[in-house]
Structure 1
């Protein structure tokens, strides 16, 4: 029983990292209607900014806040001067642009800071506490708590605030939103800025666990996209729950399912995707899209 609880808790912690990136992807999609594959690269860049600031003597908490602010500005600038040129065209072209941006940002980070593993200070203590007879790290609990707070704030943003409703209106129909008097350009910049800031949270949370490298979030981005598909592109709560399910199930499958083991546990989210898409194509918590013809 203790081993099972340990695997579940570790899976929730790992799933929280996937959830942070998945939330950022949902945020961009809710604001622009695009899938942003560059989210992992922007998150890594933010982690490097925080790392540089900590090396200059800034406390880790303040360094992370500064990196979040820098990421917000960077995300807004990327949308204004790069993505906007493709948003009105073929959506597939814009997706390819975000993939190219991911490659560019990762390469720039490697060119500036190198590809050696760097130690990033943890925001939370490395001590452990006893939970149901299992030792759980405070860092894992802190990471999960941060993601829960981000999920709640994002849900409130899109459902309860004027700016969130405006972002959704722009994503659904920018022309109608413009005719209604909404500042479409500014809202798109805000959406990308918020997503980049949320990605910065993910990057700074995972860097202490994986060590800081330009490609540290490549695998996590794949899991985050799986969580987005499972949870539904329209549901912040759904993608977080899906990310936790993926994190827990891959841990349990690696230990309790002999033919999977640790080598094949990466297949777990893709099996889940296959099953969910057959039964519920819009995701576990997503909404069906009705198109009038």
Structure 2
């Protein structure tokens, strides 16, 4: 029973980490209709910014804020300078561009920060909590991760459902010409979408890095699992991203704990194939897929 509980709690924390990254993918998709494959190296870069601040002798929280702000700026700059020239053209152009950014940011991070593994601190304890004399696989940082992801999900739902800014972002993503005719500053909305998505991605990078080792490739595997979580829940749904992350995290945790860790990647692929086959729009798709 204790093994089952610990496996479930490990999957819960892991699922929230995947959900954090999936939320960044959902945000960029809802605001620009682009799947940003460069989200992981962008988050990795801002995590190293936090590490530089912390290594300079400042507090973890100052580094935390520095990473989020640098993510906000990085997203806005990349949209304005790199992505803007291909917006409005064939969708594949933007996809290829984000793949190119993936490679470029990796290379730049290796040059600036180095390729060696570095320890990243955590703001809360990493020891399991003691309940009734039994230590469970949930620690202070895990609770911080869960609360952070739920808070971000709630803020994103509020942004897109209850604010004019969210409505303008969605209008700009779906039809730029109509949005312009309605008085929406499309360029500003697209920049804001990239900036906010990069900020959420920065949070995901910090949550993944907490209490572990970081290097320029430390988030590469998260791209796959985060993308599966986003597709599982539905790329249009922040709630779906969290549910997808939880389902994926729990599933992979049980596979690793009871079957074998070597089958985790295969299990993720099977889950992705099942979702794309049975419900292509995701579990929380707002409308059924239409076929022409």
Q: Which residue number corresponds to residue 184 of structure 1?
A: 186
1:74 to partner: Cα distance = 1.1
Gap runs ≥5 in structure 2: none
1:125 to partner: Cα distance = 2.4
Q: Which residue number corresponds to residue 63 of structure 1?
A: 63
Aligned length: 290
The whole-number CA distance in structure 2 between the counterparts of 1:167 and 1:58 is 36
Q: Deviations over 1:163-214 (max 9, x none)?
A: 1111111111111111100111111111100011111111111112441110
Please tell me whether residue 255 in structure 1 is matched to residue 257 in structure 2: yes
Q: Deviations over 1:78-112 (max 9, x none)?
A: 00111111111110111010011011111111111
After TM superposition, the score normalised by the length of structure 1 is 0.95
1:290 to partner: Cα distance = 7.0
Please tell me whether residue 203 in structure 1 is matched to residue 192 in structure 2: no
After TM superposition, the score normalised by the length of structure 2 is 0.95
Contact 1:155 1:236 in 2 (8 A): yes
Q: Deviations over 1:48-78 (max 9, x none)?
A: 0000011112211111111111110110010
Gap runs ≥5 in structure 1: none
Contact 2:180 2:186 in 1 (8 A): yes
The whole-number CA distance in structure 2 between the counterparts of 1:199 and 1:167 is 18
* Counterpart secondary structure, 2:129: strand
Of stretches 105-114 and 39-48 in structure 1, the one that deviates more from structure 2 is 105-114
Contact 2:237 2:284 in 1 (8 A): yes
Q: Which residue number corresponds to residue 242 of structure 1?
A: 244
Q: Which residue number corresponds to residue 119 of structure 1?
A: 119
1:287 to partner: Cα distance = 2.1
CA pair 112-56 structure 1, distance change in 2 beyond 3 A = same
The whole-number CA distance in structure 2 between the counterparts of 1:292 and 1:163 is 31
The whole-number CA distance in structure 2 between the counterparts of 1:16 and 1:103 is 26
The whole-number CA distance in structure 1 between the counterparts of 2:99 and 2:165 is 28
